[in-house]
Amino acid sequence: MKIAPDSTKPVCRRCGTCCRKSGPALHTQDLALFEGPGALALSMIVTLRAGELCFDQPKGRLLPLQTEVLKLRGGGANADRVSGGTGWACALLTQPGNECALYDRRPVECRVLSCQDTEAIAAMYEVDRLTRADLLPKGHGLLAVMAEHDALVPPARIAPLAAALRAGGQDALDAQDELTRMALTDRAFRAGLTERANIEPEYHEFFLGRDAGALFAAAGLSLRPDARTGLRVQADPLSAPVATPLPTNLEF
């Protein structure tokens, strides 16, 4: 018996519009994607840490993340061009062809997302998000390293320190010192991953999230080499805080 398609249900036309904007955030239902043939590598994941300022799609404004988000990285052929310059086009979107390289096993957000009706994805947006700890064996030595990095380079400090830096006076000097310490600490942790744990740089954004330079740039700050301290943080007069990256591809 043939079953006629249900014309009342939204149908994905596989146009790639949402994939070009950004890849999905991952949820615990996506754990199976890291196993078996064609498994996702940890180098495909960018961690957005708790406290990072991100654009909350359902609420329509910039908000600090309450919990960390693991997100499929942007990239692939022509990612910058097809994403309109953000570089966040999903790395699994093939170009040319505009196809998902993982369509039959695509992440749960991609299966739930319908551009004709976003109610279902809005309902699961913050539910059961996958974390770094979900992908590492219990008691793994790097869990303690990641926790220490989160404590010493806390994303939630960046926006208030950037505001203090812009305000001037003694508070600005103190903010600059704290931001510089954070940047140097972040750099030392990444060097340690490579030198002591033999972890290649393409995995660093999974273990430690985006580096200080990227987080500072999102807050309108820039990092410059400095002969005395190694690095110097300054407010970039041409740059305002920006709402990147999007935690999911839920935007129409």
Which part of the chain contacts ligand SF4 (CB under 6 A), choosing from 37-45, 98-106, 145-153, 226-234? 98-106
Question: Is there binding between residue 106 and ligand SF4 (CB under 6 A)?
Answer: yes
Does position 110 bind ligand SF4 by CB under 6 A? yes
CB 28 within 8 A of CB 134: yes
The answer to whether 129 contacts ligand SF4 (rule: CB under 6 A) is no
The C-alpha atoms of residue 205 and residue 77 are separated, in whole angstroms, by 20
Q: Is 107 in the site for ligand SF4 (CB under 6 A)?
A: yes
- DSSP secondary structure of 218-230: HTTEEEEEETTTE
Helix (H) or strand (E) holding 149: helix 141-152
**Judged by CB under 6 A, which stretch of 35-43, 86-94, 223-231, 233-241 contacts ligand SF4?**
86-94
Nearest distance, CB of residue 203 and ligand SF4, angstroms: 20
Nearest residue (CB) to ligand SF4, 16 versus 220? 16
| Residues in 184-223 that interact with ligand SF4 by CB under 6 A | none
What is the distance between the alpha carbons of residues 24 and 74, in angstroms, rounded to a whole number?
10
Cα radius of gyration (the chain): 20
How far apart CA 235 and CA 186 sit, in angstroms, is 19
Confirm or reject binding of residue 102 to ligand SF4 (CB under 6 A).
yes
Return the number of the residue (100 or 221) whose C-beta is nearest ligand SF4. 100
Residues 6+ positions from 79 with CB-CB distance below 8 Å:
87, 88, 89, 91
Residue 24 makes contact with ligand SF4 by CB under 6 A: yes
Phi-psi region of 128 (alpha: psi -120 to 50; beta: other; left: phi over 0): left
Structure token pair of residue 115: 């551009």
- In the complex, the smallest distance separating the C-beta of residue 101 from ligand SF4, rounded to whole angstroms, is 7
Contact 74, 86 (CB under 8 A): yes
Rule CB under 6 A: is residue 75 a binding residue for ligand SF4? no
Q: Coil, strand, or helix at residue 110?
A: helix
Residue with tokens 């010192």: 177
In the complex, least distance from residue 51 CB atom to ligand SF4, rounded to whole angstroms: 25
Give the one residue of 26, 79, 82, 90 binding ligand SF4; rule: CB under 6 A: 90
CB of 71 to ligand SF4, least distance (A): 10
- Which residues bind to ligand SF4, rule: CB under 6 A? 19, 23-24, 72, 90, 92-93, 100, 102, 106-107, 110, 249
